[in-house]
A and B are shown apart, each in its own frame.
Chain A
Amino acid sequence: MHPPFSLIWFFLTAGVSIGLFNFTYFMEFLTLFGKDTALPKHMVLISNVISLVLIGLGAIGASFHLGHKLRAWKAIKRFHTSWLSREAVFSGAYGFTLLIFALLRYFDHTGFWYHFFGIITFILGWLSAFSTAMIYASNKFVLEWNTSISVLYYLNMYLMLGSSAFLALTYFYRKEFVGTYIFLTFLFLALGLAFRLAFNIRQFYIKKPTINEALNLPHNRPIRVLDTGTTTDNYCTEEFYYRKGKELLPSILPLAYILTFIVPLFFVLYMWITGRVDYNFIKFTFLFIVVGSALERWSFFVEGNHVQNLFYGLYPEEGYTLRKGYMERKKTRISYR
């Protein structure tokens, strides 16, 4: 699949926004149970402004993916069937309730309504993240994405971005939580690495369809694509098959692993084990996660193979176990021209 940069941008901005709010309100929420985790007003406001600006920038950036940006409001119409519609509704509502939450904190109304809007914003943020993840995970024609790992991984990425951003913020305002958030960042980084590895390892075991299955022909007949009806690329070959990306993927994917997980894990473990908390380490942990996540999302798109590529002979050549009781494994030859 061709990676749309506007969607990668939305992932990063919404991820930091929702993740950061998640931990900011979580600390405030704990005060309801008598914990001494209340954050200074200044910190809550800075965190909320960052979240608001980022979700706003994310929405503007994501609109560049649309052909008609001014019609984007119409995306609320199919809430009952479309995950994209749900994402639009939830992320819009998240931004709105976040604004109210921030205003309540600004005017020092920290009672019932403060926590009411805090909880609502928290839930809407996660519903928005879940809906975005489901846009990819529910697409059964891109088999690499069509798994619950995509959702778990996606949500965990928000936690990775959020915990590292909160760590950078709490360093200045409530230093006693730095240790906790170093641990949480480590935890979500480790989980993220595990989910990403699972996502990649799973790709070796996907039962991929063949061109025979696409054309509904017997499985044992070799098929060659002679002609695809055009002398050049068309929308289908450009949107669903990114030739340049496929060439770059073997270099970009390891780089994404290193920048997203390995380097930040090294920084976090160093701070955890030695107890030397340096703000530069915290800052670079967050920056590496952001840059790495951008590359990781790019790889996620390029790794996806849409089944329509079968008709063009552009789907990966793979054998698979035949269905309908024939337990033999066959290699179907696909070649292009």
Chain B
Amino acid sequence: MPQYALVIDLNTCVGCHACATNCKEWNTQASFGPLSDFEPYGRNPEGVWYNRIMSYEVGDFPDTQVFHLPKSCLHCQDAPCVPVCPTGASYKREQDGIVLVNYDDCIGCKLCSWSCPYGCREFDEADKVMKKCTLCIDRIYDESLPPEHRKPACVLTCPARARFFGDIEDPNSEAYKMIKERNGFVLFPDMGTNPANHYLPRTETKVHVDEHLLEAENPLFLEVVRRHYKGG
């Protein structure tokens, strides 16, 4: 069964929030919008976002690393939010594995959000229904768009090219290869939800230095020494 998903490279994500902003911009005007805002220019702006970016610092000072974690619905393959929905408004499509909410059937009981361990569903206080990432289903199947634009808005906008979209069950897809080649991982693997969205781990940058570069007459020698043997 195909399973469309996002693959996010934590190595290149710079936490610029462009994906979240473009997601909001597209989805507030497209088929699943609007995404309500309250006091957008006030002291306590609040609103519905499909995608939120968290930033974490790992390690003890001074050996720390900061990474940014864009988090939207992970379109779990065993989505716990689907069976708890009393009306069937929350469902997982068989043809592409995308988890959606039918706004006409949603009664706004919030039980699906209670059953999501990732906090990826948000209640829209204006429309009184639960909303979540749709993987831009209104873009990816839109034949009026050029094929290269049939991707989620967040993927298209990412300036660092940290986001990839594809069928993670198809060995020929870019997303599948990324996960296999770069040890893609998922959030909260112990929760038994089998998330479809994957993250590519941060890796330490290793520079291979050829022997001839270390010869004194090489003009790059001093630069190499300065960079890699600092203090040694």
Q: Could you tell me which A residues sit within 8 Å of B by CB distance?
A: 1, 65-69, 71-72, 74-78, 81-85, 88, 135, 139-142, 209, 211, 213-217, 221-236, 239-240, 306-309, 311-312, 323
Give 23 A-B contacts (CB < 8 Å), ordered by A residue.
A66-B109, A67-B127, A67-B128, A68-B106, A68-B107, A74-B86, A78-B83, A83-B84, A84-B84, A88-B86, A140-B80, A141-B117, A211-B56, A214-B187, A221-B58, A223-B57, A229-B53, A229-B54, A232-B46, A239-B123, A240-B119, A306-B114, A308-B118
Q: How far is the CB of B137 from chain A (nearest CB, A)?
A: 22
* Interface set of B (CB-CB < 8 Å, partner A): 15, 17, 20, 44-49, 52-60, 66, 69, 71, 80, 83-89, 105-111, 113-119, 122-123, 127-129, 185-191, 199
- Of chain A, the residue at the smallest CB distance from B113 is A239
Whether B115 lies near A139 (C-beta < 8 A) is yes
Chain B residue with Cβ nearest A80? B83
> Are A234 and B128 in contact (CB-based, < 8 A)?
no
Contact at B54–A84, with CB atoms within 8 Å? Answer: no
Tell me whether A141 and B83 are in contact (CB under 8 A).
Answer: no
Q: Is the CB of B54 within 8 A of A225?
A: yes
* Residues of chain A contacted by B185 (CB below 8 angstroms): 216
New A-B contacts (12) at CB < 8 Å, excluding given A135-B111, A139-B114, A228-B52: A66-B108, A67-B128, A74-B87, A214-B187, A216-B186, A216-B188, A216-B189, A226-B55, A234-B122, A236-B113, A307-B117, A307-B188
Beyond A66-B108, A71-B87, A84-B86, is A233–B46 a contact (Cβ under 8 Å)? yes
Tell me, rounded to whole Å, the shortest Cβ–Cβ distance linking A127 to chain B: 15
A141 CB to closest chain B CB, in angstroms? 5
Q: How far is the CA of A140 from the CA of B111 in the complex (A)?
A: 13
A82-B107 in contact (CB<8A): no
Query: In the docked arrangement, what's the CA distance between A240 and B111, Å?
Result: 12
B58, B80, B122: which contacts A223 (Cβ < 8 A)? Answer: B58
Report whether B128 and A68 are in contact in the complex, using a CB–CB cutoff of 8 Å: yes
Q: Please measure, in the bound complex, the distance between the C-alpha atom of A139 and the C-alpha atom of B83, giving whole angstroms.
A: 12
Alpha-carbon gap, A233 to B122, bound state (A): 12
Q: Are A235 and B122 in contact (CB under 8 A)?
A: yes
Interface SS majority for chain A: mixed
Query: Which residue of chain B has the shortest Cβ distance to A335 in the bound complex?
Result: B57
Which residues of A sit under 8 angstroms from B110, Cβ to Cβ? Answer: 65, 239
Cβ contacts under 8 Å, A236 to chain B: 113, 119, 122
Q: How far is the CA of A222 from the CA of B189 in the complex (A)?
A: 19
| Minimum distance in angstroms from A82 CB to a CB of chain B | 4
Hey, which chain A residues are within 8 Å of B188, CB to CB?
209, 213-214, 216, 307
Residues of A within 8 Å of B54, CB to CB, are 225, 227-229, 311-312
Contact residues in A for B46 (Cβ distance below 8 Å): 232-234
Bound-state Cα–Cα, A214 to B189, Å: 8
B57 cross-chain contacts in A, Cβ below 8 A? 223-224, 226
What residue of chain A has the Cβ atom nearest to residue B131's Cβ?
A235
B106 touches A227 (CB 8 A): no
> A308 to B119, Cβ gap below 8 A?
yes
Which residues of chain B have C-beta atoms less than 8 A from A142's C-beta?
114
Q: Give the chain A neighbours of B119 by CB distance below 8 A.
A: 236, 240, 306, 308-309, 311-312
Query: With A and B bound together, what is the CA distance between A81 and B86 in angstroms?
Result: 8
Q: In this complex, what residue of B is CB-closest to A81?
A: B83
Taking a contact as CB atoms under 8 Å apart, the answer to whether B187 and A215 are in contact is yes
Question: How long is the Cα–Cα vector from A173 to B107 in the complex, in angstroms?
Answer: 44
Give Cα distance in the complex from A74 to B109, angstroms.
Answer: 12
Known A233-B46, A307-B117: A67·B186 in contact at CB below 8 Å: no
A83 to B, closest residue via Cβ: B84
Task: Give 9 nearest A-B pairs by CB, closest first.
Answer: A67-B108, A67-B128, A308-B119, A85-B86, A81-B83, A75-B86, A227-B55, A229-B52, A236-B119
CA distance A232 to B60 in the complex (A): 28
Write the chain A residue with the least CB distance to B87: A74
Are A78 and B109 interface neighbours, CB within 8 A?
no
Residues from chain A with Cβ under 8 Å of B113 in the complex: 235-236, 239
A234-B46, A311-B119 given; A222·B83 CB < 8 A: no
Q: Chain B residues near A209 (CB, 8 Å)?
A: 188, 190
Contact assessment for A141 and B86 in the assembled complex, using a CB-CB cutoff below 8 Å: no
* A138 (CB) vs chain B CBs: closest residue: B84
- A224 and B49 CA atoms in complex are apart in Å by 23
